[in-house]
Chains A and B, each alone.
Chain A
């Protein structure tokens, strides 16, 4: 083989590499542009509508004017309810799976169950909430039914994140504690959990973000088209931001007329959800930098 053909072959190999790297970088650019484009567009169109009054007053004139305060409040209630249900259950399940369970059929079954639950379509959660909480348990369409349904939706997220956090605590921490004669439960409570807390927190915050943005699970279980007054108890229906967007954009008789309100609501929803996600991302990167082990 002459030198000429060798370098020719090398050139071809590197040409392929260049093409491939180009495609790979292009994919990254497309994703960045997709997120940037969507956010920019929503921001530009929504920002003009946002005012103190928009955020703090109820809709008026059959929802063609006024603000979105009841929807903001409703989303807060539903989200807080969901995390109250999912956080304790999720953390306890994660503790059992990482600290107590011996690898075997039951643990495997629990893991498959969690994975499958994570994959259930959101509208099926809605159907389940309707069939179980609303109809069978007679909660009616209410904050309670919606919060429980959303809690189930985010349960797998919380379990997954808590498990990761618990696994991240070094085994030596547990061994040191057990060697001092501390019981297993006290070791978990005083040593493992505090060290896993930031990770669990991050996971729960991401769960909250997810719950705040979900629409389909609350459509048949909690969300009201319009409520004249604010909810008085957990058995009342509420308005919610995601459902409000859907209703105004598709079902209203004044779809074009309410466009500004739609943009404003979308902006508030996106700011809320991505704001929550950003908090989680910042906590996590801070944690990684200041890791003590």
Chain B
């Protein structure tokens, strides 16, 4: 075998192995659909998505996941309300304001926060936040939307902060220098020059943070309360999609309607996060900062 042939073989083997990610993504789709689609023999797509009643173990069962979808959306929105300001502001602090020593420490703190296992955060929400909420606001249960949102925010902040920081860091220095030369204060430079220039990266960060929150399982399983109903206040319990899947899969008889319905819920969840990720990818490609020439 000549040297050239060997090179070509190595290149092709590496190419094939690098397709594993796409292959796995494809397999995920195939197997979610394989195990999920049979539920539509029992319920129409419309009744499945928009059905108001999730009673999978009753006879006859009803498989309506609208309350679960609403639960997922609500905790995602409320956690974003907390996580987006915290994440973006901390990113601004790290990249523009903090002295080098504090910057390093804060980056490590955010990394460790990202490393906390979700089950640990869920546990913390259950044994600390829930009793406190229950007493302070005199509620029937502390396992509710607000609790889940706060804990989810802790999980989403590191994603938002680190990606925003990269985007802020990539803003060319000339932009800042030009702004200072015109007499702008540091705040004005940050608010009117740096943040707008990094906006596409920050948007990507926010979307990925939200995707993280909507797909997070253990936290909503442990602290959202588990009520499959449309909530009326932020102190009500909800049952987001991942919580429903994780809680019920153990009990659902193999290949029963319930089992298929949980896989179908997985399809909905997967498609939602996939949409979030594709939008984030599109934004970061379309508005890629190639240098000062793009602005």
Contact = CB atoms under 8 A, between A and B. Distances in A.
Interface of A: 13-14, 16-17, 20-21, 23-28, 30-32, 34-35, 38, 41-42, 89, 92-93, 95-97, 100-101, 109-110, 112-128, 130-132, 135-136, 152, 155-156, 159, 183-185, 206, 209-210, 212-216, 219-220, 242-243, 245-246, 249-250, 259, 262, 266, 269-270, 273-274, 277-278, 281, 285
A246 B90 contact: no
Interface string B258-279: 0000110010011001101110
Interface stretch (B56-64, B113-121, B173-181, B230-238): B113-121
A25 B18 CA distance: 43
A211 to B, nearest CB: 10
Contacts of A117: 21, 24-25
Main secondary structure of the interface of A (DSSP, over half): helix
Interface stretch (B41-49, B133-141, B182-190): B182-190
The 6 closest A-B pairs by CB, nearest first: A121-B215, A213-B117, A17-B187, A131-B31, A93-B18, A27-B89
B97 A114 contact: no
B34 interface: yes
B106 A32 contact: yes
Contacts of B119: 213, 215, 242-243, 245-246, 269
A131 B249 contact: no
Contact of A124 (B86, B109, B113, B269): B269
Contacts, number: 260
Interface in B242-259: 242, 245-246, 249-250
Contacts of B154: 34
Interface in B91-147: 92-94, 97-98, 102, 104, 106, 108-113, 115-124, 126-128
B19 interface: yes
A119 B21 CA distance: 12
A96 B13 CA distance: 9
Contacts of A266: 120, 123
Listed residue (B117, B157, B208, B280) with the most chain A CB atoms within 10 angstroms of its CB: B117
B3 interface: yes
A259 B18 CA distance: 45
B35 interface: yes
B185 A17 contact: yes
B216 interface: yes
A118 B187 CA distance: 35
B124 A38 contact: yes
Interface of B: 3, 6-7, 10-11, 14-15, 17-22, 24-25, 27-28, 31-32, 34-35, 85-86, 89-90, 92-94, 97-98, 102, 104, 106, 108-113, 115-124, 126-128, 154, 157, 161, 185-188, 190-191, 208, 211-212, 214-218, 221-222, 242, 245-246, 249-250, 262-263, 266, 269-270, 273-274, 276-278, 280-281
A222 to B, nearest CB: 13
Nearest to A249: B123
A178 B11 CA distance: 16
Listed residue (B28, B118, B221, B278) with the most chain A CB atoms within 10 angstroms of its CB: B28
Contact of B25 (A42, A92, A116): A116
Given A119-B215, A120-B28, 16 more contacts: A24-B90, A27-B85, A35-B109, A110-B21, A115-B277, A119-B211, A121-B269, A122-B118, A122-B215, A123-B246, A132-B31, A242-B117, A245-B119, A273-B117, A278-B112, A281-B108
21 contacts: A27-B86, A41-B124, A41-B128, A42-B120, A93-B17, A96-B14, A117-B24, A119-B215, A119-B277, A124-B215, A124-B266, A124-B273, A130-B249, A131-B31, A156-B21, A215-B218, A220-B250, A246-B119, A250-B222, A274-B116, A285-B104
A250 B85 CA distance: 32
Contact of B24 (A17, A35, A155, A281): A155
Main secondary structure of the interface of B (DSSP, over half): helix
Contacts of B127: 249, 259, 262
B92 A38 contact: no
Contacts of B250: 219-220
Nearest to B106: A28
Contacts of A13: 185, 187-188
Given A24-B93, A116-B277, A219-B249, A122 B217 contact: yes
